[in-house]
């Protein structure tokens, strides 16, 4: 192998290793501080994983007096959303336009002003945790903590690719609330 090919191979290997390390740090094992004992609201973001179970478990631990749930158009019109209670848990359903993390962050900012929230616990999956916190921080001045739900192993490859694109977009194109 020529010297030039060896250098190219080494550079390519270094880039792959750096990308893998950054992926692991940001999406697979993000560094998240411990959850507070209390918050004003638990906010379950839309997306894959068992987020609702985690949100309800946090409610049962008395971490907040209600769970705000980001729902699709179809779910928003269900009976349980209209009642404000789901499996004995006080809920506040909301549907964001657009139905994206950025749209959810904007709605969380509006809800916090309406309800006087000064702290929230976001419920998402590990792959979205850092980006969700970034997005919400741009729209909400209070304290933000993140609890993560399990993401099925089969969904990890696609979610990591998606999160890379969405994170780059959040840092370059959509840099405001």
Which of 41-50, 55-64, 81-90, 135-144 is predicted least confidently?
81-90
Segment holding 9, helix H or strand E: helix 3-23
Which of 28-42, 65-79, 96-110 is predicted least confidently?
65-79
Predicted confidence band of residue 175 (pLDDT cuts 50, 70, 90): very high
Q: Is the pLDDT of residue 40 over 90?
A: yes
Task: Establish whether the linkage from the previous residue to 98 is cis, with ω within 30° of 0.
Answer: yes
| 98 DSSP assignment | S
- Domains by residue range for the chain, with CATH: 32-172 (3.40.50.620)
Cite the DSSP H helix spans in the chain: 3-23, 51-60, 73-76, 79-83, 101-115, 126-137, 156-172
The arithmetic mean of pLDDT across residues 18-47, rounded, is 86
The arithmetic mean of pLDDT across residues 97-126, rounded, is 97
The arithmetic mean of pLDDT across residues 139-144, rounded, is 97
Q: Is the pLDDT of residue 22 over 70?
A: no
Q: Is the pLDDT of residue 17 over 80?
A: no
β-strand partners of 69: 44, 93
Amino acid 118: pLDDT? 98
Nearest to 64 by CA among 41, 44, 45: 41
Cβ count near 95 (within 10 Å)? 19
Cβ count near 158 (within 10 Å)? 11
Q: Is the pLDDT of residue 123 over 80?
A: yes
Task: Tell me if residue 143 falls in helix, strand or coil.
Answer: strand
């Amino acid at each position: 192998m020529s010297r030039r090919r060896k250098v190219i191979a080494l550079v390519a290997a270094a880039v792959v290793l750096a990308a893998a390390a950054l992926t692991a740090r940001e999406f697979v094992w993000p560094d998240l501080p411990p959850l507070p004992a209390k918050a004003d609201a638990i906010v379950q973001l839309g997306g894959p994983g068992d987020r609702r179970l985690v949100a309800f478990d946090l409610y049962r631990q008395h971490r907040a007096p209600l769970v705000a749930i980001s729902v699709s158009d179809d779910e928003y019109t269900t009976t349980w959303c209209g009642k404000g209670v789901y499996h004995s848990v006080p809920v506040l359903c909301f549907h964001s336009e657009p139905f994206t993390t950025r749209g959810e962050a904007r709605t969380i900012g509006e809800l916090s002003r309406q309800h006087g929230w000064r702290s929230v616990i976001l419920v998402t999956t590990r792959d979205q945790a850092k980006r969700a916190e970034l997005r919400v921080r741009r729209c909400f001045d209070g304290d933000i903590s993140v609890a993560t739900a399990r993401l099925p192993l089969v969904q990890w490859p696609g979610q990591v690719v998606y999160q890379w694109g969405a994170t780059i977009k959040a840092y370059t194109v959509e840099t405001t609330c």
